[in-house]
Amino acid sequence: MILRIDRLGVELPPPSTPDPNGAAAVQELMGGKFGEMSTLMNYTFQSFNFRDRKSIRPFYDLIANIAAEEFGHIELVATTINTMLTGASLSDAKDGAYKQHFLFGGKGALPADSHGKPWDGSYVHSSGDLIEDLTHNYFLESGARSGKLRVYEMVEHEAARALTGYLLVRGGVHQVAYARALEHLTGADMSKLFPTPRIPTEKIPECKPHLDAGLHLKLYRFSPDDYKEVVAVFNGKHPETGEELEVVDSPPEGFEPKDLPAETDVFAPDYAPEEIAEIANKLRKKAGLK
């Protein structure tokens, strides 16, 4: 089961100048082959399909726990797209890169890539062979970080920069986690593959505060009582910095999501949102909430 917390892993800026074409590029991080839907669904299916858990639980715990973090990454990408579309003009959108954001999505994120191609289940690699799946996951996190850097370079909007700065750091942790799992299993010196891709995160202003806070070393445990054996795999030194890796015994504290305003030109949530607010208010009172 998933326990859901209504907070975001990183603080995203409030809406400013709308950037619909930038939001179209950010869609690649949602539903592209190397997007967050792919990381979430790869690790989710691999964990669902994981056999003989009692004998090799540390590896199960690692994959299942990282899957939970990826759910929050999808939420961050969606929030970024919504932030960038807030206040965008419907009439300008006809010349934009991604008309479905307006015509179908009501200025919201869609489970598709930057060209509108829906996310595809064939992006999931769950072979049943643990070493094969871990190798795939290392490759997936590497490709995902390349994609994030390219979106960072392409899109100047501050929400996209805050998103990619955070995800570059977190993706680095997942890369290290899968590399370390492979080292424990095979003895291969995966540290020689670092840094792949070559991303100088310490020079990226939106990465810097997360590095200063040590987020490149921490793997969070996204469960009150489970996935505790992750510590048996995620340990030792970071292959790039030599600092000690750490499992944090809880999810990150996170940040309250910004309440994005209604967009009445696309009827989101309605052409007259105040009517729905009035109904909600009556229901709250009846439920003794207010």
Binding site for Mn ion (CB under 5 A): 36, 39, 70, 73, 171, 174
Nearer to Mn ion, 22 or 171 (CB): 171
C-beta of 139: minimal distance to Mn ion in Å?
Answer: 12
C-beta of 50: minimal distance to Mn ion in Å?
Answer: 18
C-beta of 99: minimal distance to Mn ion in Å?
Answer: 27
Nearest C-alpha neighbor of 125 from the set 67, 44, 60: 44
C-beta of 167: minimal distance to Mn ion in Å?
Answer: 6
Nearer to Mn ion, 102 or 222 (CB): 222
Nearest C-alpha neighbor of 20 from the set 75, 76, 77, 94: 94
Nearer to Mn ion, 102 or 220 (CB): 220
Tell me the sheet residues that pair with 218. 246
C-beta of 21: minimal distance to Mn ion in Å?
Answer: 23
Nearer to Mn ion, 86 or 142 (CB): 142
Nearer to Mn ion, 73 or 221 (CB): 73
